[in-house]
């Protein structure tokens, strides 16, 4: 009826332009979503790898701590032994050849 009355035909090419704009926006949003998802997955795997390294290092440190604890106990036992009069006397006799006063030393030929 618009043509019959002399009105120009409305332009319809403007509507596809809006649809094209919406398509570009959807594509950009989709790409951003894919990029965000890929980043999240990459971060997850990096964290898993780092967690595995930390767990392995923790095991190493626990083993080293156990070794250090045993060594510490051995050194404490040695310190207690070294501080005793019996140990000091034994070393003096064996290594230094010392004797107590009024003691007679017999040597076998």
Q: Please give the model's pTM, rounded to 2 decimal places.
A: 0.49
Q: Does 3 reside within a domain? A: no
What letter would DSSP give residue 8?
P
**How many structural domains is the chain composed of?**
1
From first to last of the 109 residues of the chain, give the pLDDT tens digit. Answer: 445 555 555 555 455 566 788 899 999 999 999 999 999 999 999 999 999 999 999 999 999 999 999 999 999 998 888 888 888 888 888 888 888 888 777 777 7
Using CA atoms, how far apart are residues 44 and 38, in angstroms rounded to an integer? 10
Domain that includes residue 85, residue range? 14-94
The C-alpha angle 77, 82, 86, rounded to 5 degrees, equals 115
Q: Does 108 reside within a domain? A: no
Q: Does 32 reside within a domain? A: yes
């Amino acid at each position: 009826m618009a043509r019959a009355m002399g009105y120009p035909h409305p332009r319809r090419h403007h509507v596809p332009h809006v649809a094209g704009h919406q398509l570009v926006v959807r594509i950009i949003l989709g790409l951003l979503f894919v990029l965000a998802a890929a980043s999240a997955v990459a971060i997850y795997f990096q964290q898993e790898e780092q967690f595995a390294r930390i767990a392995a290092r923790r095991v190493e440190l626990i083993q080293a701590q156990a070794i250090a604890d045993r060594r510490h106990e051995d050194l404490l036992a040695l310190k207690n032994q070294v501080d005793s009069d019996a140990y000091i006397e034994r070393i003096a006799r064996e290594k230094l050849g010392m004797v107590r006063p009024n003691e007679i030393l017999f040597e076998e030929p």
